[in-house]
Amino acid sequence: MTITLTNPAGLPETDIYHQVSVATGSKLVHIAGQVAWDADGSTVGEGDLAAQTERCYLNIGTALAGVGASFDDVVKLTVYVVDWTPDQMPSLLAGISGAKAKLGTAAAPPASLLGVAALDVPEHLIEIEATAVLV
C-alpha cells in the first residue's frame, strides 16, 4: 500500500499534519474515537490534555496493530477537544510528540480539530478517530 502525504501549492504547511493524503490499497479501516482509557477502562491523565492526547494516540496504535497496520497507514485523523481554545495547542502538540516518540513514527496525516462541549464522560478531554488504508 502506498500513501503519499502532500501540501499542494497554495495551501499552508503546518507542523502537525499534511493537507492531503492519497492512498492506494484494498482495505479501508475505520477506528472508533479513542479516549484516554487504559486497557482496564480507567482514565489516564485526568485533567491533563497532553497525557490524554498521548494515550489516545497509543490506543489508536494498539487498534492499528490489531489489524496488521501502523500509523504509516493512517490517511485521516479527526480530533475532538472539550472546550477547545488555541492556548491549548502546546499541550496537544506535547501529547502528539510524546506518542509519536513511543510509537516510533513521524507520520502526519491530514487532520481536523473540532472543539466540542463534552465527551462520553466528564474526565475525557479529547477523543481521536482514525481512518487507515491497507493493501
Quick: pLDDT tens for 66-117: 989 999 999 999 999 999 999 999 999 999 999 999 999 998 899 999 999 9
Average pLDDT over residues 57-64: 94
Q: Where are the beta strands (DSSP E) in the chain?
A: 2-6, 20-24, 27-34, 74-82, 111-116, 126-134
The contacts of residue 129 (CB under 8 Å, 6+ apart) are: 30, 31, 32, 33, 34, 77, 78
Radius of gyration of the chain (CA): 14
Show the DSSP H helices in the chain as ranges: 49-66, 89-103
* pLDDT band, residue 135 (cuts 50/70/90): confident
Longest dimension (CA), the chain: 46
- Rounded to two decimals, the pTM is 0.86
Looking at per-residue pLDDT, the higher value among 99 and 23 belongs to 99
> What is the Cβ-side half-sphere exposure of residue 30, based on CA atoms within 13 angstroms?
1
Q: What is the mean pLDDT of the chain?
A: 92
